[in-house]
Amino acid sequence: MERQEKKTPNIVLVGFMGTGKTSIGRRLSTQLRMRYVDTDDVIERDSQRRISDIFSKDGEPAFRELESEAVRQVSKLDNHIISTGGGVVLKETNMVELRRNGIIFCLTATAEEIYQRVRHQSHRPLLQTPDALTKIRSMLEERHPYYAKADYMVETTGRSFGEVMAYIKRVFAKSVRDSK
Ligand code: S3P
């Protein structure tokens, strides 16, 4: 029987808003020569609408449907860096899809650090509130059990992009080696 070439898995980045999924993902993509895709970009491209517009006009449940559709699409890829929106972990089916051909890394940071990183940004509907730090704290607590389902947790507070990437690259290379 012919030996089947195994597909190269995806590196999947999950984690709360502002934990660095996009920044780390884009850099990893360049360094590892793997293509980069972001579920939020897929949603905006396919619907031809901004995320904030979908949230304000159709509501969060409608956004989550589009997000699951984007997850189904990107989970079929291989050899990609897949960055996801912060709430992707909330649906178990999203995690099942992403894990099919992916190793899931959850980027983490403290609430204070996240607040410092996002306070001057305005594109995240869920953080458009006068007391964003309190909101971040309560959402982090609520979502913790979901983020904990990732294969690896990666703390980013006090770490440089280089350090975070070195860890992800090491773990990823080992899992690819072990699966051969
Ligand atoms: C969300 C995170 C956002 C985006 C949407 C909802 C969330 O993505 O998907 O605003 O529920 O945490 P980022 O994590 O890339 O900001």
Q: What is the largest CA-CA distance in the chain?
A: 63
Q: Tell me which residue has its CA closest to atom 9 in ligand 1.
A: 85
User: Mean pLDDT, to the nearest integer, of 100-114?
Assistant: 98
Return the ligand 1 atom nearest residue 21 CA: 15
pLDDT at 157: 97
Secondary structure (3-state) at 85: coil
**pLDDT greater than 60 at residue 119:** yes
| The CATH number of domain 15-175 is 3.40.50.300 | yes
Domain regions of the chain by residue span: 15-175
Would you tell me how many other CB atoms lie within 10 Å of the CB of residue 66?
Answer: 20
The pTM is what? 0.96
Question: Is the minimum distance from the CB of 133 to ligand 1 under 6 angstroms?
Answer: no
Pocket test residue of 17, 43, 121 for ligand 1, highest count of atoms within 8 A of CB: 17
Question: Is the minimum distance from the CB of 97 to ligand 1 under 6 angstroms?
Answer: no
Q: Choose among 11, 7, 6: nearest CA to 151.
A: 11
Helical (H) or strand (E) element with 155: strand 152-155
User: Mean pLDDT, to the nearest integer, of 30-55?
Assistant: 97
